[in-house]
Amino acid sequence: MKDRPTARYTPPFTLTADILDRVAAISELLGRWSISQHDIFTPQLRRGNQIRTIQASLAIENNTLSLEQVTAVLEGKRVLGLPHEIQEVRNAFSAYARMAQWQPHSVAHLLQAHGMLMYGLVDNPGHFRQGGVGIYRDKRLIHMPPPADRVPLLIRDLLTWCRTATVHPIIISCVFHYEFEFIHPFADGNGRMGRLWQSRLLSQWQPMFEFLPVESVIKARQEEYYRALSEADRCAESTPFVEFMLAALLEAMREIHGVVEPDVGISPPVAALLTALYRNPPLKSAELMPLTGLRHRPTFRKNVLEPALAAGWIAMSHPDSPRSPQQRYRLTAAGERLAAALRA
């Protein structure tokens, strides 16, 4: 009996100059990290990045919980929010916490992950869709995925290709992400599953990718993310999306590189925030904002306060009530070390 071919198809894509340049830049940065790997992703940074990842991935799917609220949910605090949004956070935390245990080329593990990610949110979590679906944006049909009866075979072949392909693992993960969204194997949760499973493919190759908050970059560039998907559909190959995702990965890596080398990557407003709190009593956001040179409260929260919280550099005085009028912010031990280095 002859062996079954290792893969039924190869997803169409083109190795452009942009793709090769971005893979080279990512590889160079990974090489620099490997020299001082013991300094990368401290426990505080890992947790902060995981919280940012969860909040951003769910926000792309219209979850309205803030970074502070997501943090409070994961700490078991009471949060005022829609029950299904709180459930989404809990599910995502469970799924990302278990990510390393799943085999990225296993259909059964893919289904298990979907079951955990969508538990209590859909009727049939952990099962492929049973009917046809259409992807709409602004009431306009933008994509018609393959029929439901083809989904199991398409996913099996896609994962087989991921296991046997000879191109760079980073490119494989990006092609997978596009093809997964094209197949749209589940009735709901395809976006968050595609992002989760790309991270799983990457982390099998390089474990540091498990803690890379690329979802935060995608959230900040959400319209570009959707345009890249649409352009790939139009071209009938994943190339435009691969180029976008490589750029997003590189941006997220450079951001982390700035965290571990703060003199290079930390923004002046965040540096001013940490310096203002160094060896001082906790301060309210209204007291801190003028010290960072920012006057627009939403900008201050998004670009200064939330990144410092996510990185584990500052902490709230009332974490169970993120919006409390008495809320104040103080440096953590990691923040104190960083502030001291910035002042040196």
Provide the annotated active-site residues.
184
> 140-143 and 314-316 as β-strands: parallel, antiparallel, unpaired?
unpaired
Confirm if 249 and 214 have CB atoms less than 8 A apart.
yes
- Quote the CA–CA distance of 221 and 252 in Å, as a whole number: 12
78 is in an annotated binding site: no
Tell me the β-bridge partners of 30: none
C-alpha 30: how far from its chain's center?
18
225 is in an annotated binding site: yes
Q: Which long-range contacts (CB under 8 A, 24 or more apart) does 236-239 make?
A: 236/12, 237/11, 237/12, 237/13, 237/14, 238/11, 238/12, 238/13, 238/174, 238/175, 238/178, 238/179, 239/13, 239/14, 239/16, 239/19
- Quote the CA–CA distance of 71 and 51 in Å, as a whole number: 7
- Quote the CA–CA distance of 184 and 142 in Å, as a whole number: 13
157 is in an annotated binding site: no
234 is in an annotated binding site: no
138 is in an annotated binding site: no
190 is in an annotated binding site: yes
Secondary structure E strands in the chain: 135-137, 140-143, 314-316, 329-331
191 is in an annotated binding site: yes
The separation between the first and the last C-alpha atoms of the chain, rounded to the nearest angstrom, is: 71
49 is in an annotated binding site: no
- Quote the CA–CA distance of 287 and 46 in Å, as a whole number: 29
How far is the CA of 218 from the CAs of 215, 248, 252, 301, in angstroms? 5, 7, 9, 19
User: Left if phi > 0, otherwise alpha if psi is -120 to 50, otherwise beta: which for 171?
Assistant: alpha
- Quote the CA–CA distance of 190 and 181 in Å, as a whole number: 6
316 is in an annotated binding site: no
Confirm if 276 and 343 have CB atoms less than 8 A apart.
no
312 is in an annotated binding site: no
| Feature table: binding site for ATP | 188-195, 225-226
Annotated binding site: 188-195, 225-226
